[in-house]
Amino acid sequence: MSPLVKTVLLASLAALIAAGVRFGVTSARATETEQALADLSSRLDELGPLVTAVEELRQARHTVEMKTEVVRELRNQPSVPGRLLGQLLAAPPSGVTVEEVSARGSKLEVSGRAESLDRVGRWLQELQSRDGLEGLDLEGFEVPRRGKQKWGEFTLTGRLPVRAEGPEPSEPEP
């Protein structure tokens, strides 16, 4: 064999060895990378349920915050019956004394004493002009026949609004 052919063969062999070594290193790195990916994938599988639980907790927290806001708003706004009862008890005119206010379901009854039927009538007109008390009527007025008491006893009756204020509820579709 000629020295030139020997040189070419040795150079080719050296190139093949170098390529094989590089391939071995690359192959080893590929194996390491595959193992790292497998490890990460198994960790991700372990973390999956935890991520789901965290998301569910976030949704539950959001729901609680929304409900808390509704409760806070309701506390700041008295209910319709509570507001109406507050209007009844807020400073009746002079000559009129409220002794009892009762509400059973939507039925409202107010009883008390007044110097005259006229004073009860004027107070009733004032109450009827307020929102929600339009249905209030004078049920009776009696002046006691005995004793020194000159004030008459009155009873007002009416109905409280049953539904809360706000938009009309929509009818369910058949």
The answer on 119 and 99 residing in a single domain is yes
The whole domain housing 111 covers 80-159
The answer on 85 and 63 residing in a single domain is no
> For residue 36, is it within any domain?
yes
pLDDT of residue 18: 65
The answer on 52 and 9 residing in a single domain is yes
How many domains does the chain fold into? 2
> For residue 171, is it within any domain?
no
The pLDDT tens digits along the chain (174 residues) read 677 766 766 677 667 666 666 666 566 677 777 787 777 777 777 877 888 888 888 988 888 888 788 777 756 666 666 666 676 666 688 889 888 888 787 788 888 999 989 998 888 888 877 766 667 888 888 887 776 667 899 998 888 765 544 444 444 454
pLDDT of residue 170: 47
The answer on 107 and 62 residing in a single domain is no
pLDDT of residue 154: 92
pLDDT of residue 147: 64
Distance CA 67, CA 57 (A): 15
> For residue 166, is it within any domain?
no
The answer on 136 and 125 residing in a single domain is yes
The answer on 84 and 73 residing in a single domain is no
Domain boundary among 55, 77, 99: 77
> For residue 165, is it within any domain?
no
pLDDT of residue 20: 65
The answer on 124 and 66 residing in a single domain is no
Question: How far from 98 is each of 22, 92, 136, 147, CA to CA, in Å?
Answer: 102, 7, 15, 21
Domain boundary among 54, 77, 100: 77
> For residue 91, is it within any domain?
yes
> For residue 173, is it within any domain?
no
Instruction: Identify how many contiguous H helices and E strands the chain contains and give both numbers.
Output: 3, 4
The answer on 58 and 4 residing in a single domain is yes
The dihedrals phi and psi of 92, each to the nearest 5 degrees, come to -65, 155
pLDDT of residue 166: 46
Q: Are 151 and 132 in contact (CB under 8 A)?
A: no
The structure's pTM equals 0.45
> For residue 23, is it within any domain?
yes
> For residue 33, is it within any domain?
yes
The answer on 102 and 73 residing in a single domain is no
Domain boundary among 77, 100, 127: 77
CATH code, domain carrying 115: 3.30.1360.100
The answer on 1 and 57 residing in a single domain is yes
pLDDT of residue 16: 63
